């Protein structure tokens, strides 16, 4: 029987990367019943909201979505659709693998780490207001439940994937209540996982260490804001945003998407790098229990990148989005 999966093409360059990922998934032979749903700014006119009820209902039914990036207006306008999805489906764990692939020019080799980012709390809870005309306030919200479940997710993931170390990233020296609680809970839960090494780092020092010796890190456990920033920094270590896949895992579903935005500057030009979206689809296949197909996709991407004959412009090549996807299919 085919797996039902909600497919959201997204804004800007989203449709191009999602089409590429869909083609690659279909080439694995795993049967997927794609249920195309819509989200984004254009939906406001059609449905009155950027995340229509129909789309939420589809994800509720399938429990799984593959999505392209969705544009969010800066400063004003509607709240991020991504944040709303994470809250609606309680997608509390954002998992972002960061890996060096042979053939991708970067300053480093041997990076193989995973950023595990808390996805629903912190400054992203959206509790902010203008106190008066000249004073703005945003609440940094951490709950014990939120800290505990993301920490357990990180350790369980480390055990499942045969990883060695979890590093808790925080700023507990300054934010003693919020980050202090996050660190205390991580230290406590670490005791339940004696086979996994545990350490911690203040976020600013972590950034320095990551650009000096990223190969030393394994699983980074981060609150929402630091996880967002650190994972883009990490993407920069391995070839840029086009190389960063992600999974949002939660109580009521799982959504897989590239970490990059809608790249409006290159939208519609068939030149965006679809690797991040293809690797997100590989994570989705693993989540569906299709480990062989998931590995097949990742290995094909690695092969095409290593050969270096078909490369998109961000990686110094001339290939189109479609040509890259076709090369991955051929490599499978
Ligand atoms: P962006 O990631 O869209 O683009 C930043 C730069 O990187 C651009 O020059 C772009 O062309 C380039 N780039 C990004 N992905 C690439 C790829 N795969 N291949 C080649 N080049 C790539 O970031 P932005 O410009 O800050 O954001 C644009 C919009 O996307 C905003 O509205 C933002 O809110 C939204 N956004 C959405 C998501 C999401 O849906 N998960 C994530 C981040 C940003």
Q: How far is the CA of 162 from the centre of ligand 1 (A)?
A: 32
Examine domains 1-93+245-332 and 107-237 and report if their fold is the same. yes
Supply the pLDDT for residue 74. Answer: 66
State yes or no: pLDDT of 208 exceeds 90: yes
**DSSP structural state of residue 108:** -
pLDDT reading at 240 higher than 70: yes
Pocket probe mutation, ligand 1, options 41, 69, 321, 324, max atoms within 8 Å of Cβ: 69
Task: Report the distance separating Cα 165 and Cα 144, nearest Å.
Answer: 23
Q: How confident is the model at residue 216 (pLDDT cuts 50, 70, 90)?
A: very high
Residue 215 structure tokens:
């190969």
Mutate to test the pocket of ligand 1, among 10, 75, 261 (most ligand atoms within 8 A of CB): 261
| Residues contacting 317, CB < 8 A, separation 6+ | 308, 310, 311
pLDDT at 77: 64
User: How many A from CA of 3 to the centre of ligand 1?
Assistant: 29
44 vs 230, more confident: 230
**140 — phi, psi (to 5°)?**
-95, 100
Give pLDDT, residue 82: 86
HSE (side-chain half, CA atoms, 13 Å) at 214: 25
| Total-model pTM | 0.93
Dihedral, 47, 2, 261, 258 alpha carbons, nearest 10: 160
pLDDT value of position 126: 81
Within 6 A (CB) of ligand 1 lie 69-72, 82, 241-242, 257, 260-266, 272-273, 276, 314
pLDDT band at 176 (very low <50, low <70, confident <90, very high): very high
What's residue 158's pLDDT? 98
User: How far does residue 242's CA lie from ligand 1's centre (Å)?
Assistant: 9
Q: What is the pLDDT of residue 327?
A: 98
pLDDT tens for each residue of 17-73: 999 999 999 999 999 999 999 998 778 778 878 889 999 999 999 999 999 999 887
Q: Number of C-alpha atoms within 13 angstroms, CB side, residue 7?
A: 20
- How many other CB atoms are found less than 10 A from the CB of residue 156? 13
Question: How far is it, in rounded angstroms, from Cα 92 to Cα 157?
Answer: 14
Mean pLDDT value across residues 141-145: 96
CB atoms within 10 A of CB 44: 13
Question: Which residues belong to the active site?
Answer: 124, 171, 204, 228
Q: For the chain, which residues make up each domain, given as ranges?
A: 1-93+245-332, 107-237
Atom of ligand 1 nearest to the CA of 265: 11
**Mind spelling out the 3-state secondary structure of the chain?**
CCEEEEEECCCCCHHHHHHHHHHHHHHHCCCEEEEEECCCCCHHHHHCCCCCHHHHHHHHHHCEEEECCCCCCCCCCCCCHHHHHHHHCCCCEEEEEEECCCCCCCCCCCCEEEEEEECCCEHHHCCEEEEECCEEEECCECCHHHHHHHHHHHHHHHHHCCCCEEEEEECCCCCCCHHHHHHHHHHHHHCCCCCCEEEEEEHHHHHHHHHHCHHHCCEEEECHHHHHHHHHHHHHHCCCHHHCEEEEECCCCEEEEECCCCCHHHCCCCCCCCHHHHHHHHHHHHHCCCHHHHHHHHHHHHHHHHHCCCCEHHHCCCECHHHHHHHHHHHC
Where residue 130 falls among pLDDT bands split at 50, 70, 90? very high
Report the residue among 55, 119, 241, 264 best suited for mutation to probe ligand 1: largest number of ligand atoms under 8 A from its CB: 241
What's the 10 CA to ligand 1 centre distance in angstroms?
12
Atom 31 of ligand 1 has which residue's CA nearest to it?
71
Q: Which fold does the domain 107-237 belong to in CATH? A: Isopropylmalate Dehydrogenase (3.40.718)
pLDDT computed for residue 45 by the predictor: 76
* Domain 1-93+245-332 top-level CATH class: alpha beta
Kindly state the average pLDDT of the residues 135-143: 96
**Band of residue 2 on the pLDDT scale cut at 50, 70, 90:** very high
């Amino acid at each position: 029987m085919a797996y039902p999966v909600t497919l959201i093409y997204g804004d800007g360059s989203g449709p191009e990367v999602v089409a590429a990922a869909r083609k690659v998934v279909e080439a694995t032979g795993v049967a997927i019943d794609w249920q195309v749903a819509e989200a984004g700014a254009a939906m406001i006119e059609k449905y009155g909201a950027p995340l229509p009820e129909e789309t939420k209902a589809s994800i509720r039914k399938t429990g799984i979505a593959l999505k392209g990036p969705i544009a969010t207006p800066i400063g004003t306008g509607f709240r991020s659709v991504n944040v709303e999805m994470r809250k609606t489906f309680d997608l509390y764990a954002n998992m972002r693998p960061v890996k060096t692939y042979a053939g991708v020019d970067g300053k480093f080799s041997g990076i193989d780490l995973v950023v595990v980012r808390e996805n629903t709390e912190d400054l992203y809870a959206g509790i902010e207001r203008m106190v008066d005309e000249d004073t703005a306030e945003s609440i940094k919200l951490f709950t014990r439940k939120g800290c505990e479940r993301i920490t357990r997710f990180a350790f369980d993931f480390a055990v499942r994937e045969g990883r060695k170390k979890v590093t808790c990233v925080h700023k507990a020296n300054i934010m003693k209540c919020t980050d202090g609680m996050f660190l205390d809970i991580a230290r406590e839960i670490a005791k339940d996982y004696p086979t996994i090494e545990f350490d911690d780092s203040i976020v600013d020092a972590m950034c320095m260490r990551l650009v000096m010796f990223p190969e030393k890190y394994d699983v980074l456990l981060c609150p929402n804001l630091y996880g967002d920033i650190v994972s883009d920094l990490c993407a920069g270590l391995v070839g840029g945003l086009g190389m960063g896949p992600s999974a949002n895992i939660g109580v009521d579903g799982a959504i897989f998407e590239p970490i990059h935005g809608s790249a409006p500057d290159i939208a519609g030009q068939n030149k965006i790098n679809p690797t991040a979206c293809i690797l997100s689809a590989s994570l989705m296949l693993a989540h569906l229990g299709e480990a062989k197909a998931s590995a097949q996709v990742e290995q094909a991407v690695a092969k095409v990148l290593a050969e270096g004959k078909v490369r998109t412009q961000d990686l110094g090549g001339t290939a189109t989005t479609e040509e890259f996807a076709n090369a991955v299919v051929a490599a499978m």
